[in-house]
């Protein structure tokens, strides 16, 4: 392994210079699936599934094998994708999801994917799961007041979707700042009870097995209405997060309803691709498909357990899954298609991360990120477009599990920090407000090139590597940024 000083030198010089993009601003579609594991589609090795639309994206674009979400649960990754900043730099340090009634977590005035695109003349729309909070003047959301600030306050022209998970209230869709189907004069009251929660004061509760159908129709309809100008579409389907409730038209997967839900997710992606084809927008549209964290690997979990028993490797060969500190919680499917710019039918081993989308879009627009924006976002456009593998576009990624445990990927090495790491008090109101597992009491070190499944802890025989990586991790936490020019 390189010495720490060499790594730090590389770290501060790794920010890439983007190649020239095509003259016309491309439309941009970012699809963020929910709990969709690395091995849950045929481009990533799944057997017995039918994912023709993800297959098409991979065939017409580039599939990444080392792309990371920075959190192993959703809100941390969604915040980082939207802002280019690690979630643990905010007021919440413990790696947990936001509560269903949390205030808007994106700070006023912070640059986001949407506000960046909007500044370049784009129309911006968000559809599906938000889970980044509403309102800022109260500790908990008041569903009887306009849900502002919300997505439209951070750069989106339009929002239609869910406040959080399907089981969270309100159990109706939200359009812009309003709950859809409110009964005039009646108070909205949310009774949360997992997937069976209820909301009164609305005409009709949304049907969980129709959520995907509804948000997909809204997203494609928005493309129809807004395609005259460049547009940015953020599509965040609830599949395949529980409750596992596919539309009744999707049946017959060998992996039961979980496989059916994957098929519905693929169908939804296909509807967006068909819309782009029909409107002759495909050639000038950048499409990114990825996920917010790994899939749940729990044999006791009804749907995922049955799928695993039937032979589905939800996170492929990777160890762990959602909530955990191991690779299966963070490494995500990541497919990029941009005809004429991204070489078709290619695979990249470049290490990239969800926060990088912000700086990469700025590079496409040929604009610098303002000081204090996208502190952990690297321009990885070269990784999208290079014809042959080049130097790393980023040398490291910091990850944080649901119990606050930090991990660091540096080259081929991966450290899980357990000794001397910051300790955070878990919030008892959150779903995973207690440790979900009991890991070793010592730091762990893995070489992912030799041991991608993280089966051999090398910390005892490579103490110098552990010490160097811990120093780099501590410095990154203290510094306030990891992108070299973010501190200028």
Each residue's pLDDT tens digit, 281-340: 999 999 999 999 999 998 777 889 999 999 999 999 999 999 999 999 999 999 999 999
Which residue(s) pair with 233 in the sheet?
29, 125
Which residue(s) pair with 97 in the sheet?
none
Instruction: List pLDDT tens digits, range 256-267.
Output: 999 999 999 999
Measured distance CA(61)–CA(80) in Å, rounded: 24
- Category of 96 on φ-ψ map: left (φ > 0), alpha (ψ -120 to 50) or beta: beta
Average pLDDT, the chain: 92
DSSP H helices, 323-406, are 356-365, 381-385
Instruction: For residue 90, give both structure tokens.
Output: 């905010």
- The reported pLDDT for the residue numbered 193 is 61
pLDDT grade for 3, boundaries at 50, 70 and 90:
very low
**Residue with structure tokens 């649960």?**
73
DSSP characters over 91-139: S--S-PPPPTTPPP-SPTT---HHHHHHHTT-EEEEEEE--S---SSSS
> Is 74 labeled as catalytic in the residue annotation?
yes
Instruction: List pLDDT tens digits, range 206-257.
Output: 999 999 999 999 999 999 999 999 999 999 999 999 999 999 999 999 999 9
Q: Is the pLDDT of residue 12 over 70?
A: no
Check 74, 105, 171, 323 and give the catalytic one. 74
Check 66, 105, 131, 263 and give the catalytic one. 131
DSSP H helices, 16-161, are 52-60, 74-83, 113-119
Residue 414 three-state SS: strand
DSSP H helices, 237-311, are 256-278, 302-309
- The reported pLDDT for the residue numbered 18 is 38
> Is 131 labeled as catalytic in the residue annotation?
yes
pTM here is 0.94
Instruction: List pLDDT tens digits, range 393-423.
Output: 999 999 999 999 999 999 999 999 999 999 8
Give me the domains of the chain, ranges plus CATH numbers: 27-395 (3.40.720.10)
């Amino acid at each position: 392994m390189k010495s720490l000083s060499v790594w730090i030198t590389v770290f501060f010089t790794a920010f890439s210079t983007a190649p020239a993009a095509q003259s016309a601003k491309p439309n941009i579609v970012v699809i963020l699936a929910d709990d969709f594991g690395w091995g849950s589609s045929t481009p990533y090795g799944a057997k017995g599934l039918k994912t023709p639309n993800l297959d098409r994206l991979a065939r017409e674009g580039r599939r990444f094998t080392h792309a990371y979400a920075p959190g192993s649960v959703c809100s941390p990754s969604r915040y980082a994708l939207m802002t280019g900043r690690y979630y643990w730099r905010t007021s919440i340090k413990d790696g947990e999801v936001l509560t269903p009634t949390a205030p808007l977590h994106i700070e006023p005035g912070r640059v986001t994917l949407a506000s960046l695109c909007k500044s370049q003349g784009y129309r911006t729309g968000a559809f599906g799961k938000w889970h980044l909070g509403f309102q800022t003047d109260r500790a908990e959301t008041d569903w009887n007041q306009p849900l502002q600030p919300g997505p439209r306050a951070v750069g989106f022209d339009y929002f239609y979707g869910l406040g959080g998970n399907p089981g969270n209230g309100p159990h109706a869709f939200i359009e812009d700042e309003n709950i859809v189907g409110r009964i005039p004069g009646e108070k909205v009251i949310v009774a949360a009870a997992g997937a069976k929660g209820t909301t009164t004061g609305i005409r009709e509760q949304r049907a969980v097995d129709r959520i995907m159908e509804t948000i997909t129709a809204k997203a494609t309809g928005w493309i129809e209405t807004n395609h005259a100008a460049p547009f940015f579409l953020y599509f965040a389907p609830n599949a395949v997060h529980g409750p596992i409730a596919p539309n009744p038209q999707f049946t017959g997967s060998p992996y039961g309803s979980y496989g059916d839900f994957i098929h519905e997710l693929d169908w939804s992606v296909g509807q967006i691709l068909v819309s782009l084809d029909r409107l002759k927008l495909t050639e000038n549209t950048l499409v990114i498909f990825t996920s917010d964290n790994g899939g749940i690997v729990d044999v006791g979990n009804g749907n995922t357990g049955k799928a695993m028993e039937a032979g589905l490797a939800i996170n492929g060969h990777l160890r762990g899954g959602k909530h955990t500190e191991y690779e299966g919680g963070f490494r995500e499917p990541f497919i990029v298609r941009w005809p004429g710019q991204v070489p078709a039918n290619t695979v990249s081993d470049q290490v990239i991360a969800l926060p990088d989308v912000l700086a990469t879009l700025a590079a496409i627009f040929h604009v610098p990120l303002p000081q204090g924006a996208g502190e952990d976002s690297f321009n990885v456009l070269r990784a999208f477009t290079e014809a042959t593998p080049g130097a790393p576009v980023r040398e490291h990624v910091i990850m944080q599990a649901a119990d606050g445990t930090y991990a660091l990927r540096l080259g081929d090495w991966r450290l899980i920090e357990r000794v001397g790491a910051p300790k955070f008090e878990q919030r008892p109101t959150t779903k995973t407000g207690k440790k979900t597992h009991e890991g070793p009491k010592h730091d762990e070190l893995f070489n992912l090139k030799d041991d991608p499944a993280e089966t051999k802890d090398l910390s005892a025989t490579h103490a110098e590597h552990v010490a160097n990586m811990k120093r780099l991790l501590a410095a990154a936490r203290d510094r306030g940024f990891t992108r070299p020019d973010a501190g200028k």
